């Protein structure tokens, strides 16, 4: 029954209560300490850092990000300050205020294991998100599309880390791939959360007037985000929600309005990340999304998220 009372946006992530389900997507507004501080000061209930490598990287040549009428294309190429910078940030973060995820995207298995061991040894409440899906490093395939490599990486990380961690997956487009990946993920008890999806990799946007690609790296090939990817993101969230009932799903992809947040939650997400729209609008977006989500829930008569999370109807 519709009610005018303000809905409660509170949720829980790995047993920790959060004020709302919103956070940034790794890579957006999170490369430098000042950006992460701005997220800490925003209405986002959690924060994730830019994916880090063993050593600092400038990333790919510019232009490497382009806003589009329906989203964005990027080929940033993992520009980051190196993992020690993010460990130092994590050491000074106020975890009572909000959780901090550290995204790790080493360029090899050994690099990943070095970073993971360092994160384990500093013994912070930071949450590890292993990025299996960067589409933009020339000459490097995504582990998320090489199932054997993914399994080996997860086995090594799970053994080395011995604490709950999560993975950031690329989008999949076939039920056979959903099944295979879910089977691999379900083998690892410490794998506690799954973030779906990274950008839709290696798209090509063409400027007709210029007869040209719109970003410089990789002859214009880059990862799509924004409106273009919402249905793919929802499908992946729901596919892994169905197949991995003991894992927590974080939705990412195409979130620009409170309604999009609602759809991710309905598909089975517990937290919802914002990428392209945060890039375009800045950290003030979290207040707007929280307000729009609350308005939609009030209109539908929902008082709490757990009244509808994961309850997508099918026909």
Q: Give the active site residues.
A: 134
Strand pairing class (127-131; 165-169): parallel
Q: Which is nearer to ligand RRO, 43 or 129 (CB)?
A: 129
Does the footprint of ligand RRO cover residue 106 (CB under 6 A)? no
Give Cα separations from 78 to 40, 120, 159, 229 (angstroms).
Answer: 22, 22, 26, 21
DSSP secondary structure string for all residues of the chain: ----SPPB--EEETTEEESSSEEEPTTSS-SSHHHHHHHHTSS-SBEEPPPB-SS-B--SPSP-EEEETTEEEE-----B--HHHHHHHHHH--TTT--EEEEE--SSHHHHHHHHHHHHHHT-S-EEEEE-----STT---GGG-HHHHHHHHHHHHHHH-S-EEEEEPP--SHHHHHHHHHHHHT-TTEEEEEE---EEEEE-EETTTTEESS-GGGGEEEEEGGGGHHHHHHHHHHHHHH-TTSEEEEESS--SHHHHHHHHHHT-SEEEE-HHHHHH-TTHHHHHHHHHHHHHHHHT-SBGGGTTT-----
The span of 75-83, 182-190, 202-210, 227-235 binding ligand RRO (CB under 6 A) equals: 75-83
Q: Nearest approach, Cβ of 127 to ligand RRO (angstroms)?
A: 17
Q: Which of residues 39-68 bind ligand RRO (CB under 6 A)?
A: 51
What is the rounded CA–CA span in Å between residue 167 and residue 101?
11
Q: Which is nearer to ligand RRO, 47 or 305 (CB)?
A: 47
Question: Torsion-angle region of residue 22: left (phi > 0), alpha (psi -120 to 50) or beta?
Answer: beta
Q: Nearest approach, Cβ of 131 to ligand RRO (angstroms)?
A: 5
Does the footprint of ligand RRO cover residue 170 (CB under 6 A)? no
Q: Which is nearer to ligand RRO, 25 or 267 (CB)?
A: 25
Q: Which of residues 255-294 bind ligand RRO (CB under 6 A)?
A: none
Q: Nearest approach, Cβ of 11 to ligand RRO (angstroms)?
A: 25
Q: Which is nearer to ligand RRO, 18 or 205 (CB)?
A: 205
Q: Which is nearer to ligand RRO, 49 or 198 (CB)?
A: 198
Does the footprint of ligand RRO cover residue 220 (CB under 6 A)? no
Q: Nearest approach, Cβ of 223 to ligand RRO (angstroms)?
A: 3
Binding mask 175-214 for ligand RRO (x = CB under 6 A): -----------------------xx---------------
Interface pick for ligand RRO out of 134, 233, 244, 267 (rule CB under 6 A): 134
The span of 35-43, 76-84, 205-213, 260-268 binding ligand RRO (CB under 6 A) equals: 76-84
Tokens found for residue 99? 């959780």
Does the footprint of ligand RRO cover residue 253 (CB under 6 A)? no
Interface pick for ligand RRO out of 7, 21, 71, 77 (rule CB under 6 A): 77
The span of 37-45, 70-78, 85-93, 154-162 binding ligand RRO (CB under 6 A) equals: 70-78
Q: Nearest approach, Cβ of 103 to ligand RRO (angstroms)?
A: 8
Total binding residues for ligand RRO by CB under 6 A? Answer: 16
Q: Which residues bind ligand RRO (CB under 6 A)?
A: 27, 51, 74-78, 105, 131, 133-136, 198-199, 223
């Amino acid at each position: 029954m519709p009610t005018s009372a303000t809905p409660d946006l509170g949720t829980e992530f790995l047993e920790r209560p959060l004020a709302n389900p919103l956070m940034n997507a790794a890579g957006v507004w999170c490369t430098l300490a000042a950006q992460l501080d701005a997220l800490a000061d925003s209405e986002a209930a959690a924060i994730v850092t830019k994916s880090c490598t063993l050593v600092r990287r400038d990333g790919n040549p510019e232009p490497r990000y382009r806003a589009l009428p329906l989203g964005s294309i990027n080929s940033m190429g993992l520009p980051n300050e190196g993992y020690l910078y993010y460990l130092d940030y994590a050491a000074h973060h106020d975890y009572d205020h909000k959780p901090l995820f550290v995204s790790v995207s080493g360029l090899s298995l050994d690099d990943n294991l070095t970073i993971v061991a360092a994160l384990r040894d500093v013994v912070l409440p930071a949450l590890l998100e292993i990025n299996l899906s960067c589409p933009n490093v020339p000459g490097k395939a995504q582990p998320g599309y090489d199932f054997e490599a993914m399994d080996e990486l997860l086995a090594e990380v799970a053994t080395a880390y011995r604490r709950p961690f999560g993975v950031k997956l690329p989008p999949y487009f076939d039920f056979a791939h959903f099944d295979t990946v879910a089977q691999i993920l379900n083998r690892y008890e410490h794998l506690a959360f799954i973030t779906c999806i990274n950008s839709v990799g290696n798209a090509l946007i063409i400027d007709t007037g210029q007869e040209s690609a719109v970003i410089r790296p990789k002859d214009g090939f880059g990862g799509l985000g924004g409106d273009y990817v919402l249905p793919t993101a929802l499908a992946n969230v729901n596919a892994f929600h169905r197949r991995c009932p003991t894992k927590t799903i974080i939705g990412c992809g195409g979130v620009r309005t409170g309604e999009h947040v609602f759809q991710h939650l309905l598909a089975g997400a517990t937290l919802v990340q914002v990428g392209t729209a945060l890039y375009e609008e800045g950290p003030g977006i979290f207040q707007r999304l929280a307000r729009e989500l609350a308005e939609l829930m009030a209109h539908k008569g929902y008082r709490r998220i757990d009244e509808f999370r994961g309850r997508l109807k099918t026909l």
